Amino acid sequence: MGFVNNIKEEIRVVRERDPAIHSNMEVFLYPSFKVMLYYRVAHRLYLKKHYFLARWVSQKGVRKTGIEIHPGAQIGKGFFIDHGNGVIIGETTVIGDNVTLYQGVTLGGTGKEQGKRHPTVGNNVMISTGAKVLGSFKIGDNSKIGAGSVVLEEVPPNSTVVGVPGRVVKRDNMSLPQEELDQTHLPDPVREDIVLLQKANAELTNRLLDVERELKLQRKEKGKEA
């Protein structure tokens, strides 16, 4: 895809994903748009093994946008970063098509791996505000990572992950349409655990009351017999 076509595609993606953008001219002020221009230049230099120049261009993008994308990262079509301040994408990260990241997301390594150190993110994935995905595993297609989650292991396709450490709380065989990839309609595992504990407590309390009633009846019967 040529330079002009890349710009047209970036404008389309930003306007499609962010309703706050009212004109094409506004897109040119958008951090996600700016950083992708820097990234594409840096990535080409990286592929040609001009590593210093690639990092120099990349760091200019960081200073301008607050978003750090390593020149070695591989990014597919339809990539979008909403707001984006604090987003970090590591060198060996691979990102599929139609992926959305929110501010503060980290796609990083654990410091223990060699070679492929960063995540592979599938197609149609949404990673919410402040989530950290650390390691060289894959986030499956059509998955959602909840805000503030810390994901340390592979996520199957069509899954929803929340919590610290992240755990799969929803999984089915239905693909999630792009318009349903939002940050609010996510399960709350802590609340679900509390509800289960409350239910278990109520059952134990009812059993205890039944036992107390039986004991009282037994005492009364013994008193009558005496």
Q: What is the pLDDT along the chain (226 residues), one digit of tens a residue?
A: 566 777 787 788 887 777 778 888 888 888 888 898 899 999 999 999 999 999 999 999 999 999 999 999 999 988 989 887 899 999 999 999 999 999 999 999 887 777 899 999 999 999 999 999 999 999 999 999 998 899 998 999 998 888 888 888 877 644 444 444 455 555 566 666 787 888 888 888 888 888 888 888 887 777 766 6
Q: What are residue 78's DSSP bridge partners?
A: none
Q: Tell how strand 159-162 and strand 167-171 pair up.
A: antiparallel
Q: Give the pLDDT confidence score for residue 55 in this predicted structure.
A: 95
- 94-95, strands of its sheet edge to edge: 74-75, 94-95, 120-121, 138-139
149 contacts: CB under 8 Å, gap ≥ 6: 128, 131, 132, 161, 162, 163, 164, 166
Q: Give the pLDDT confidence score for residue 56 in this predicted structure.
A: 96
pTM for the predicted model, two decimal places: 0.70
Backbone angles phi, psi at 131, to 5 degrees: -70, 145
Q: Give the pLDDT confidence score for residue 83 in this predicted structure.
A: 80
68 contacts 52 by C-beta, under 8 angstroms: no
- Closest-CA residue to 149 (of 141, 136, 157, 160): 160
